Amino acid sequence: MNVQTLTFVFVGVSFAVYIWIAVRSRASNTSEFYIAGGGVSPLANGMATAADWMSAASFISMAGIISFVGRDGSVYLIGWTGGYVLLALLLAPYLRKFGKYTVPDFVGDRYYSDIARVVAVICVLFVSFTYVAGQMRGVGIVFSRFLEVEITTGVFVGMLVVFFYAVLGGMKGITYTQVAQYCVLIFAFLVPAIFISMLMTGNPIPQLGFGSTLADGSNVYLLDKLDQLSIDLGFVAYTEGSKSTIDVFFITAALMIGTAGLPHVIVRFFTVPKVSDARISAGYALVFIALLYTAAPAVAAFARVNLINTVQNAEYKKTPAWFKNWENTSLIAWVDKNQDHRIQYFAGKAFSGKPNFIEGRGLEGERKVKNTLTKNSNELYIDRDIMVLANPEISGLPAWVIALVAAGGLAAALSTAAGLLLVISTSISHDLLKKIVFKDITDKQELFFARASAAMAIIVAGYFGIYPPGFVAEVVAFAFGLAAASFFPVILMGIFSKRMNKEGAIAGMITGLAFTASYIIYFKFINPSANSSANWWFGISPEGIGTLGMLFNFIVSNLVSQMTAAPPKKIQDMVDDIRIPRRS
């Protein structure tokens, strides 16, 4: 069978399994819809947390961005993994002991204020919708290439599948669906990595192949080869970074701290029976996450070497089928600037922005674009989000491996999208409607509102997937910055500071969110031409500005809390109780 047929089979079977699990695990009350009834085992929760955590950014885009920026891409590895450790050890057990449904639930009760709860809901919506845009974009990319449909059509199909198991199953259905999705995504990521590692280095373990010599008899190390290829093409050496130290620090910190403030990850620790189970499930999740994260740098290096060796100075008519297949998705584009009928791949942008295609092709098959061509010698545009998905094709792996990767990419995107959509729906139905607007609604009515909110959230998410504000990892980085600037300080001080009051928490959240969102919106949407280190505050990029927003949050919240009345004694006792082990 060809790649498209196998992809239909793999994707169709996996989707059928997801929907079947959701139907079998359908939530019958709000407790099951919000936190799966609090009865998920640590092992299952650890696997579900890993799937929830490893989104399209981890599966599709992280290795892709490392392929293109080399050492600078390590900020994603360090920030995301380090942040999960921070969340697991510093926040998760205490929030589980608090025993609520959502992060706004914690904020509203800890800070004894409906206003604080509403501000927290707004923060949830900002963070979650920004994050889910990247997931739906990933869904569209996979569908557009492997099922040969438009990205828009792919997003619609993804919306439909998520609708079934998120709206019907709630957290109960999502949890067990995510267990299946983790198995699919990790298998899909590691199988081609093992194959390619053996082909390129002779070592079946990608993590070790990353530091091995090439299997071509040259006795040259993989990274040395990649460094030389990068320099020859005018790029910075792969193992050297071009980002400033301060920007690397701030991006890493924003990703790490943002992780600890992500509401869709935090809520996973509410689904286990006991506080100790929260710690155990966090340990399981770290192991499951490490399997992918330690292999990602190797996959990135393999993909980069194979890409350069395949396309650089290649005669277009003789390029392999994978190149032309990806051209049809508009995620690769070539224009023959020097009319030599060969693909010239060098540093610099081929076009002034992403390619905007006109119908038809040139005589040599080049894509016709409306954009102005840049004056450098680079003739090739490559969307970095395709590197992991195209890697098996570039390496000439069997069709079933290519189809498996497509199924894995969809599993990664849909698992996180479902978790985010559930957080959005619970924030609206439970924290906004049940707690503030309609306080007397029944459990059945609340469940109806939760499902209706999830359905509306899916529609909005689909829109952002069709019109994303950037590539997947970049969009997700913005979400982490917003989470770092808004949620992390208020949660941390809510657990460890008895003096922090509602006035301080509200002022801090508003300050952090407003500053970070404004900075990102200005440089990415209002004035993108100014998006350079020369114009950034202190040399901090929009991806890292969440760290500064977090600092502003801490400063403002502490100043305001010191100038206003202390929390009531029952709130201070609550803070003490959260931190004291039950047996004490």
CA angle 492, 496, 501 (to 5 degrees): 80
Contact of 510 with 119, CB cutoff 8 Å: yes
Exposure of 374 in the CB half-sphere (CA atoms within 13 A): 17
Helix, strand or coil, per DSSP, at residue 343 = strand
DSSP string, 415-432: HHHHHHHHHHHHIIIIII
Provide the mean pLDDT of the chain. 84
Contact of 476 with 54, CB cutoff 8 Å: no
- Residues near 208 by beta carbon (within 8 Å), at least 6 away in sequence: 197
At 584 the pLDDT is 46
Rounded CA-CA distance 556/571 in Å is: 21
Contact of 374 with 348, CB cutoff 8 Å: yes
- Residues near 528 by beta carbon (within 8 Å), at least 6 away in sequence: none
Which residue from 9, 2, 10, 6 is spatially nearest to 411, judged by alpha carbons?
Answer: 10
Model pLDDT for residues 526-564, shown as the tens digit of each residue: 887 888 888 899 889 888 999 999 999 999 999 999 999
Locus of tokens 């509410």: 270
> Above pLDDT 90, what percent of the chain?
23
Mean pLDDT of 285-295: 90
Contact of 114 with 316, CB cutoff 8 Å: no
Model pLDDT for residues 411-463, shown as the tens digit of each residue: 888 888 888 888 888 888 888 888 888 888 888 888 888 888 888 888 888 88
Contact of 130 with 482, CB cutoff 8 Å: yes
Two structure tokens written together for 154: 């792919």
Q: Kindly state the DSSP code that residue 213 receives in the 8-state scheme.
A: B
Two structure tokens written together for 54: 């490893």
Model pLDDT for residues 341-376, shown as the tens digit of each residue: 888 899 888 887 667 766 556 556 666 677 778 888
At 366 the pLDDT is 67
**Amino acid identity, position 92:** A
Model pLDDT for residues 485-531, shown as the tens digit of each residue: 988 899 999 999 999 999 999 999 999 989 998 998 888 778 878 88
- For strands 357-361 and 367-369, give the pairing: antiparallel
Rounded CA-CA distance 149/141 in Å is: 10
Confidence at 476, pLDDT banded by 50, 70, 90: low
At 451 the pLDDT is 83
**Amino acid identity, position 547:** T
**In the beta sheet, which residues pair with residue 334?**
380
The CA radius of gyration of the chain, in Å to the nearest whole number, is 24
Rounded CA-CA distance 46/170 in Å is: 18
**Amino acid identity, position 362:** G
